[in-house]
Structure 1
Amino acid sequence: MTTPDPSREPEPTKPAGTATTPYKDRVYRSPAGVVGGVLVLAIVAWLGIDAVVVGEGRTPWLALATMLFLMPVVFAYTLRPAVFVNDDRLRIRNPLRLIVLPWGQVASLRSGFSNEVVDDSGTTYQLWALPVSVRARSRAARQDARAARAAARAGQGGSGRARAGAAVPGGVVGAADLGTDAAVAGGPRRAETDQAMDELRELHERRQGEPGTQGEVTVRWAYEIIAPAVAGAVLLGVLWGLG
């Protein structure tokens, strides 16, 4: 499940006739990924440091090489992924790449087995920070079904209660009708990542034609992650090869 960072809220716009203040970046992450990454990194660090301190022979070197390889990889796939959004662009921080797409270059945002963005050239980029959860979708569908059944039961007896409420001075509406109206007004429930994708699609529709949202798509490899992981893998291979 993924939730937007509550500390990143859009700033209010200025009154009509003045320039508007652009949105600050809103950040979407996977809380489960962050928690899991912190736990795995803590375990790797604990075991590795213990092996370095008390190990003998090649063990400390093997432990160092393993930590050098594993920790950047775990960080890349758990703590690093994030999606940054503002009025002008969509910035996707995936495990090994950073992709910046101006809204004018975004062709579509689609959801299937994964959440993806497609640019005007047809290139597809996966949103690692917004993983699709079949379980969350099923849970939202079950909650919708229960709400619909409750609203239907309330509606069956609502007319009598509404008439009883109408007899009260001021024309009070029956509680059942209020509950039914609230259920209808609330709309269907959505999984959190699906809600995030809906927000991105809405912002894309509003902003894709604006002058400030044009530009080129840029992609940068995360060499700060790749370099230590490769160094750790090479060192680990050399140590194992030496026997």
Structure 2
Amino acid sequence: MSTPQSSAPEPRTHRSTASLVTGALLLALGAWFGVDAIWRGSGRTPWVALAALVTLVPLVVAYTLRPAVVSDEDRLTVRNPFRTVTLPWAAVAELRSGFTNEVRSDGRTYQLWALPVSLRARKKAARAQMRDAVADPHGATPTTVSQPVRSDSDQAVEDLREIAERRAAAPTAQGPAVVRWAYEIIAPTAVGAIALVVLVATG
């Protein structure tokens, strides 16, 4: 006897490759200039460089390496620069693509930082859609013969929308949205900024 297969989706993580590459490059440049200033600088220069690194490194990580959108059978987890939002599928009211990709829950809107909108990618997808269109035998308006072509981020949002619709009634996908602030990013940034201001003001 065959075992029935579950319709629950496998856990999947969406991240922006461009952001990851940019973040790695910025961190490498920051480490190069910062360590050089600390090692070779004189007077207050090493301390200013250290304070700048403590301020900027968490920000670079927050905006480039940290963002992710993780989906599994029970919930959608949105990790943005300064907070993580956990949404059981039943709490997802809407997933939409406009100038940004967003999810709505309980009247609040959360941007999907890990799925940035690319107008260039949308235009490319539209051109591919037109190439896939064929005219009918009488030369009438073209009709598509394949699935709609979308940009990667728009397709990811569409996939998440389908999962939300399918899993919203699941007993394990119930509950309210949970928001957790990323104090591991906020705290060092604040400390570094205060130190940097003090060093510059008293210099």
TM-score after normalising by structure 2: 0.91
Looking at structure 1, the residues matched to 131 and 174 of structure 2 have their Cα atoms a distance apart, in angstroms, of 45
Task: Tell me which of 131, 149, 152 is aligned to 1:189.
Answer: 149
In structure 1, stretches of 5+ residues that fail to align are: 1-13, 157-182
Looking at structure 2, the residues matched to 192 and 99 of structure 1 have their Cα atoms a distance apart, in angstroms, of 22
More helix by share: 1
Paired position in structure 2 for 1:145: 130
Paired position in structure 1 for 2:69: 83
Which amino acid letter does the alignment assign opposite residue 145 of structure 2?
Answer: V
Over the aligned positions, Cα root-mean-square deviation in angstroms equals: 2.0
Paired position in structure 1 for 2:197: 237
Looking at structure 2, the residues matched to 209 and 33 of structure 1 have their Cα atoms a distance apart, in angstroms, of 34
Task: Give, in angstroms, the shift of residue 23 of structure 1.
Answer: 4.3
Task: Give, in angstroms, the shift of residue 24 of structure 1.
Answer: 4.3
Paired position in structure 2 for 1:172: none
Looking at structure 1, the residues matched to 67 and 40 of structure 2 have their Cα atoms a distance apart, in angstroms, of 35
Looking at structure 2, the residues matched to 70 and 125 of structure 1 have their Cα atoms a distance apart, in angstroms, of 24
Greater CA radius of gyration, 1 or 2? 1
Show the 5 A alignment for 1:55-94. 55-94=41-80
Which amino acid letter does the alignment assign opposite residue 184 of structure 1?
Answer: V
Looking at structure 1, the residues matched to 15 and 72 of structure 2 have their Cα atoms a distance apart, in angstroms, of 15
Q: How many residues align?
A: 198
After superposition, the C-alpha distances for 1:189-238 in whole angstroms (9 at most, x for unaligned) are 11000010110010011010111110121100000000110011000000
Which amino acid letter does the alignment assign opposite residue 72 of structure 1?
Answer: P
Which amino acid letter does the alignment assign opposite residue 127 of structure 1?
Answer: L
Q: Aligned to 2:120, what secondary structure does the other structure show?
A: helix
Q: Aligned to 1:189, what secondary structure does the other structure show?
A: coil
Task: Tell me which of 74, 82, 107 is aligned to 1:122.
Answer: 107
Looking at structure 1, the residues matched to 113 and 72 of structure 2 have their Cα atoms a distance apart, in angstroms, of 18
- Asked if residue 15 in structure 1 is aligned to residue 3 in structure 2, the reply is yes
Show the 5 A alignment for 1:162-177. none
Task: Tell me which of 214, 229, 233 is aligned to 2:174.
Answer: 214
Kindly report structure 1 stretches of 4+ aligned residues shifted beyond 4 Å: 20-24
Q: Aligned to 1:143, what secondary structure does the other structure show?
A: helix
Q: Aligned to 1:101, what secondary structure does the other structure show?
A: strand
Looking at structure 2, the residues matched to 242 and 115 of structure 1 have their Cα atoms a distance apart, in angstroms, of 44
TM-score after normalising by structure 1: 0.77
